[in-house]
């Protein structure tokens, strides 16, 4: 009797722990989807046996049915069988044992509320099974009791979604309160100049470069990292903006139509910066035209005397900005074009040098540690903002020269004698091509580690195939993370005549690092091009 009770207690604790761990996994998925149910549900459309229903669920169902039948026929050891079977068949699943997630869950207040409501739904499910168990014979009631845990575990993905739906009105109320507070704080600061930056690529790099340029004259508040959502911007305004800040630099990102309107409703800009228009978020936006319209709508929100600083090398940006009829400041890497341009550009493995030239003939030299052709344009945009905000050319150039690589965006570092180029953050076709160009200029054996690009809609396979062709010209070895996802890259490599024996498919980033440790030596260069968030990781075998 004591042994039976002990086994039942252990089995119950194990079942609750496993259900909790699986629930945590799907809460993390919801957070990675921005707490939005629709993209979260899209993540769940992969192979059913991989994500939603595991083999252990089917085995567990088999054991529960078997135990119920044994109990019905009076088998005396049914509780033993049930307890042991539960522990064995629900043994730890590798699908949920990701101890080294790339972006761990952040237990914000919202996540805690979601976890609490999901747990409540699971408890209600268990209570329903408990009430059913109370009306059954003692032995078979054990099967009903454990069936409750089984159901709570199996239904975790949908219970998480239901919790998000139930909490949505409350979360909206919280968000509206944060927005009202942010708008009120800005209304009390008529002296504040707000610079808003958007674009398909380069927003964060330009934001920090603008901060460094303006800091030559002004105390500047800039949103940290990739804080480019309404709540991210509100958090900075409500908690960090002070009377000592005459300048505020905000990054404004989009995923869906209307996102810019929501952001500028909180913080209308005095200076609008549009970096470029590309296929980032094509999956959610639908077309490049829709992306262009959304990005360029930032210019519509400018203050009456505001200025748009735009990329003159991007025809979509330039033509769309001119059509707005607002005051423009155009920068370009083409000599003689726009209000500010670059001349005598040179690159090497340590960075770049160029001259900034104004139509008046003024010029100043810049030496930067930033890698890649696109970073020249990013610095020109920052210098343009500085000039619009009253800085002298030499002041703006001095600030631009101090710009540092943004973490995980073409940042060069040394690690165990290897040259590591970290371009792991949200790869895109333009940035990926620039990164491969930089890799091709580096010494020693050149290795690229990539899972490819995502969120490119119907063009994703074609763009990744073209990326494979670009890699073939700049790398000696290629590590493809995720054999199925990277199939188009492999096709592009093979079409370009890249040696098949130098293409190395691996399932995880950690396996790629193990390969590098075994095969690479001091002086070799490793490019990490994109590191997909956990919702894109292929299942372990």
Same domain, 90 and 111: yes
pLDDT value of residue 20:
82
Of 349, 372, 401, the one marking the end of a domain is: 401
Q: Is residue 32 part of a domain?
A: yes
> What percent of the chain has a predicted confidence (pLDDT) above 90?
48
Same domain, 372 and 430: no
Chain segment 80-117, per-residue pLDDT in tens: 455 555 555 555 455 555 444 556 788 888 999 999 99
Answering whether pTM is above 0.85, one says no
Q: Is residue 102 part of a domain?
A: yes
Same domain, 107 and 247: no
Chain segment 463-477, per-residue pLDDT in tens: 899 999 999 988 999
Average pLDDT over residues 22-46: 82
> What is the domain count for the chain?
3
Domain range enclosing 351: 190-401
Same domain, 350 and 425: no
Average pLDDT over residues 17-41: 84
Same domain, 155 and 278: no
Same domain, 109 and 161: yes
pLDDT tier for residue 354 given thresholds of 50, 70 and 90 = very high
Of 401, 434, 459, the one marking the end of a domain is: 401
Same domain, 390 and 442: no
Same domain, 240 and 302: yes
Average pLDDT over residues 56-66: 68
pLDDT value of residue 222:
95
Burial class (CB in 10 A: 0-12, 13-18, 19+), 119: middle
The CA distance from 343 to 363, in Å, is 9
The CA distance from 129 to 178, in Å, is 41
Average pLDDT over residues 357-366: 95
Ranges 44-53, 58-67, 328-337: which has the least confidence = 44-53
pLDDT value of residue 541:
40
Same domain, 392 and 422: no
Answer yes or no: are the C-beta atoms of 522 and 516 closer than 8 Å.
no
The CA distance from 481 to 189, in Å, is 49
Q: Is residue 361 part of a domain?
A: yes
Helical H segments across 251-344, by residue range: 259-266, 282-285, 288-300, 315-323
Task: Specify the CATH number for the domain of residue 427.
Answer: 3.90.190.20
Of 136, 169, 202, the one marking the end of a domain is: 169
Q: To the nearest whole number, what is the mean pLDDT of the chain?
A: 84
Q: Is residue 148 part of a domain?
A: yes
Q: Which residue has the tokens 């207690």?
A: 9
Same domain, 124 and 155: yes
Chain segment 180-229, per-residue pLDDT in tens: 999 999 999 999 999 999 998 889 899 999 999 999 999 999 998 778 88
Ranges 100-109, 228-237, 285-294, 348-357: which has the least confidence = 100-109
Chain segment 249-290, per-residue pLDDT in tens: 999 988 888 999 999 999 999 999 999 998 777 677 888 899
Same domain, 311 and 430: no
Task: Specify the CATH number for the domain of residue 342.
Answer: 3.40.1190.10
The answer to whether residue 316 scores a pLDDT higher than 90 is yes
Chain center to CA of 447: 24
Q: Is residue 174 part of a domain?
A: no
Same domain, 128 and 242: no
Q: Is residue 406 part of a domain?
A: no
Q: Is residue 228 part of a domain?
A: yes
pLDDT value of residue 234:
94
Q: Is residue 428 part of a domain?
A: yes
């Amino acid at each position: 009797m004591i042994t039976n009770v002990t086994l039942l207690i252990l089995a119950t604790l194990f079942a609750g722990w496993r259900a909790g761990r699986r629930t945590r996994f799907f809460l993390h998925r919801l957070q990675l989807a921005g707490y939005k149910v629709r993209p979260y549900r899209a993540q769940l459309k992969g192979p059913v046996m991989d994500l939603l229903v595991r083999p252990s669920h089917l085995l567990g169902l088999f054991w529960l049915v078997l135990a119920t039948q044994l109990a019905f026929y009076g088998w005396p050891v049914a509780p033993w069988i049930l307890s042991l079977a539960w522990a064995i068949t629900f043994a730890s699943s590798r699908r949920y044992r990701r101890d080294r997630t790339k972006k761990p869950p952040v237990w914000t207040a919202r996540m805690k509320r979601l976890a609490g409501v999901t747990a409540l739904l699971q408890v209600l499910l268990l209570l329903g099974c408990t009430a059913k168990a109370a009306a059954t014979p003692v032995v078979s009631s054990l099967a009903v009791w454990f069936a409750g845990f089984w159901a709570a575990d199996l239904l975790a993905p949908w219970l998480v979604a239901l919790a998000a739906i139930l909490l949505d009105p409350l979360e909206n109320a919280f968000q509206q309160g944060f927005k009202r507070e942010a708008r009120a704080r800005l209304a009390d600061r008529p002296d504040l100049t707000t610079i808003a930056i958007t674009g398909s690529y380069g927003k964060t790099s330009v934001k920090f470069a603008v901060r460094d340029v303006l800091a030559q004259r002004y105390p500047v508040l800039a949103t940290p990292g990739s804080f480019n959502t309404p709540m991210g911007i509100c958090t900075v305004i409500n908690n960090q903006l002070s009377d000592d800040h005459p300048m505020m630099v905000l990054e404004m990102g989009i995923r869906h139509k209307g996102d810019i309107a929501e952001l500028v409703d909180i913080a209308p800009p005095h200076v609008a910066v549009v970096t470029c228009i590309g296929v980032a978020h094509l999956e959610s936006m639908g077309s490049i035209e829709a992306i262009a319209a959304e990005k360029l709508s930032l210019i519509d929100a400018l203050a009456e005397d505001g200025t748009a600083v735009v990329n003159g090398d991007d025809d979509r940006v330039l033509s769309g900005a001119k059509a707005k009829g607002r005051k423009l400041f155009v920068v370009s890497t083409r000599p003689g074009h726009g209000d500010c341009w670059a001349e005598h550009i040179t690159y090497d493995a340590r960075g770049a040098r160029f001259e900034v030239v104004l139509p008046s003939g003024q010029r100043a030299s810049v030496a930067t540690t930033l890698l890649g052709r696109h970073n020249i344009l990013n610095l020109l945009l920052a210098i343009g903002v500085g000039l619009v905000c009253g800085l002298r050319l030499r002041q703006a150039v001095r600030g631009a020269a101090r710009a540092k690589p943004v973490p995980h965006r073409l940042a060069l570092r040394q690690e165990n004698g290897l040259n590591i180029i970290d371009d792991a953050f949200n790869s895109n076709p333009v940035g990926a091509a620039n990164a491969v160009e930089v890799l091709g200029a580096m010494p020693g054996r050149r290795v690229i580690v990539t899972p490819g690009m995502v969120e490119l809609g119907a063009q994703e396979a074609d763009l990744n195939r073209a990326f494979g062709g670009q890699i073939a010209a700049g790398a000696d070895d290629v590590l493809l993370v995720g054999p199925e996802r990277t199939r188009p890259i492999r096709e592009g490599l093979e079409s370009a005549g890249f040696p098949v024996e130098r293409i190395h498919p691996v399932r995880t980033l950690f396996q790629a690092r193990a390969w590098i440790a075994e095969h690479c030596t001091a002086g070799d260069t490793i490019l990490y091009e994109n590191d997909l968030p956990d919702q894109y990781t292929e299942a372990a075998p």
